[in-house]
Homo-oligomer: A and B are copies of this chain.
Amino acid sequence: MSGSTPPLTIDSPDPARRRFLQIAGQIAGTGLVAAPVAGSLLGASSSPVEAAQQSQQQSQRAAMPPASVTGRPMPQIQKPFPLPPQSRIGFAVVGLGKFALNQIIPSFAESKRSKLVALVSGNREKAEQVAGRYGVDRMAIYDYASFDSLADNAEVDVVYIILPNGLHAEYAIRAAKAGKHVMCEKPMASTVAECEAMIRASLRAGRKLMVAYRAQYEPFNMEAIRLAHSGDLGKLKLVVSDHGRNLNPSDPADQWRMSAKLAGGGALYDIGIYSLQAARYITGEEPEEIHAMIHSTRGDPRFREVEENVTFQLRFPSGVLANCSASYGYADTKRIMVQGSEASLTLDPATDYYEHKLTVTKGKTEERIKFQEGNQFALEMDHFAQSIQEDQPPRTPGEEGLQDVRLMQAIYEAARTGRAVKLEPRIPDVVADVP
């Protein structure tokens, strides 16, 4: 990325003219605006078709529609203009698996500030095919041996890590050392130590680090957060959140998830993190006490190393309680429910890629709130791009990812011991560790 950042907002149409049109429309109705147009265009005796058929004999000016019909000012833009390609932040995507190829890489087309400029893959043939289709320069294809030479590619601003969890720390740290901003899939890493090392590496490199918590950039979840904090639900009392799916051992994208070392954990690490995030972002608080239970079906080869089902309860300082679950064994579920003293909110599906349903129940009425579904991946990448362009911390920095890993470790401890785990009220300041 180089230099100036053009604004995404557009030039306003001439306000005086816009006011004229409004008045014309309101007072005079259609006639005033359109009648002369139609008159001059279509004439009394000839249809537009006939006019067109004779257009070669006529001067072209005569056939032109007047400016009041065409050539109008810029209309109201509902979807902001994208930045021109040269002004966008360049992303290198590391790992060309199912999620990268089906969600992330296609989403660059819908982003406004981000562009795909490099690929990192251990499979050169696959990378070349992807590069060809998405217009990535073949010189910008890397493998894990040449990874560190991303440092030499000035087109790459951000390295987006989409690898098995157990590899996040290594490549995030190497990317920071290569002088790049890092965006990392969730969970941030397997251990607290890894997360802290990643944060330190980015700080030392003077680069930004963001964890890809897509739900925090998704419009329905943001509205749920707004409603929860607005007081419209009354005083919050309970958050319930459940996320599960059937781990599929015949899907290559699920195979590494059965390995404790590659995945860092089981259902909790992979999707329970959405339930945990929900409890945290809905309340806006950090839990101070955790209970948990784990059950894995005996003899199921999927669960030799990682857990199948987790339930966990959280207590927040304000007194809000949360009942959460995660499972690799139950059918697709992705929901968040919030009970307040005055009303209840249900977001179900809450964290789907494409569909969200938000309902607020108050007394005898249920209100369904609709927004246009947005591409949360594009929104997420654009948020990081904007953070970089404007040198602001991203909404979900490394510290946010670290806190979840810390809490997930506490959940495992609570389940193991059968005792409540008490947590310190604040996140220790990691920055202080930087020498």
Q: Is residue A252 within 8 Å, beta carbon to beta carbon, of the partner chain?
A: yes
The main secondary structure of chain A at its interface with chain B is mixed
In this assembly, does A221 line the interface, its C-beta being within 8 Å of a C-beta of chain B?
Answer: no
- Answer whether residue A150 sits at the interface, using C-beta atoms and an 8 A cutoff: no
What per-residue 1/0 map shows which CB atoms of A19-34 lie under 8 Å from chain B? 0011011111111011
Contacts of A227 in B (CB 8 A): none
Q: Which of B194, B262, B366, B420 contacts A47 (CB 8 A)?
A: B194
CB distance from A308 to the nearest CB of B (A): 8
- Distance of A7 Cα from B61 Cα, bound (Å): 44
Q: Is A425 an interface residue (CB 8 A)?
A: no
A70 (CB) vs chain B CBs: closest residue:
B122
Decide if A49 touches B122 in the complex (CB within 8 Å): no
A240:B238 contact, CB within 8 angstroms: no
User: Which candidate, A208-216, A323-331, A387-395, is the interface stretch facing chain B?
Assistant: A323-331
When C-beta atoms are compared, the residue in chain B nearest to A64 turns out to be: B144
Task: Check A102/B79 contact, CB under 8 A, given A25-B249, A419-B418.
Answer: yes
Chain B residues within an 8 Å CB radius of A163: 65, 69-70
Contact B30 A305 (CB under 8 A): yes
Q: How far is the CB of A82 from chain B (nearest CB, A)?
A: 6
Q: A259–B331 contact, CB under 8 A?
A: no
9 residue pairs from A and B, CB less than 8 Å apart: A29-B302, A34-B261, A35-B261, A38-B259, A41-B166, A109-B109, A291-B418, A330-B344, A353-B372
Question: How far is A373 from B371 in the complex, measured between Cα atoms in Å?
Answer: 14
Question: How far is B51's CA from A337's CA once the two chains are assembled, in angstroms?
Answer: 42
A295 within 8 A of B: yes
Interface centre among A291, A342, A367 (most CB of B within 10 A): A291
Residue of B35, B242, B250 touching A339 (CB-CB under 8 A): B242
Residue A343 at the chain B interface, CB threshold 8 Å: yes
Residue in B64, B238, B304 whose CB lies within 8 Å of A145: B64
- The chain B residue sitting closest to A260, CB to CB, is B38
Q: Which residues of B contact A63 (CB under 8 A)?
A: 144, 170
Interface code A356-391, partner B: CB below 8 Å = 1, 0 otherwise? 000001111111111111000000000000000000
Nearest CB in chain B: distance from A307 CB, A: 11
Instruction: Please give, as numbers and ranges, the residues of chain B lying within 8 Å of A81 by CB-CB distance.
Output: 129-130, 133-134
Tell me whether A330 and B238 are in contact (CB under 8 A): yes
Stretch at the interface among A93-101, A396-404, A405-413: A93-101
Q: Which B residues lie within 8 Å of A426 (CB)?
A: none
Q: A262-B38, A325-B240 are in contact. Are A52 and B170 (CB under 8 A)?
A: yes
The reply on A321 being an interface residue by CB < 8 A is yes
**A276 contacts the other chain (CB 8 A):** no
Verify if A231 is at the interface (C-beta below 8 Å from B).
no
Known: A35-B259, A133-B84, A240-B242. A330 touches B341 (CB 8 A): yes
Contact with B along A232-262 (1 / 0, CB 8 A): 0111011010101010011111111111111
Nearest CB in chain B: distance from A203 CB, A: 14
Against B, the Cβ 8 Å flags (1 = close, 0 = not) of A169-182 are 11101100000000
A82 close to B365 (CB less than 8 A)? no
Q: Is A135 positioned at the interface, with any CB of B under 8 Å from its CB?
A: yes
- Alpha-carbon separation in the docked complex, A258 to B37 (Å): 12
**A144-B237 CB under 8 A given contacts A301-B28, A368-B365:** no
- The reply to whether B194 and A48 contact each other, CB–CB distance below 8 Å, is yes
Binds B, one of A152-160, A311-319, A427-435: A311-319
Known contacts: A70-B95, A291-B313. The answer to whether A38 contacts B166 by CB under 8 A is: yes
| B362:A344 contact, CB within 8 angstroms | no
A306 contacts across to B, CB distance below 8 A:
30
Give Cα A66 to B129, complex, Å.
Answer: 21
Which residues of A from 43 to 94 have beta carbons under 8 Å from B?
47-49, 51-53, 55, 60-61, 63-65, 67, 69-79, 81-85
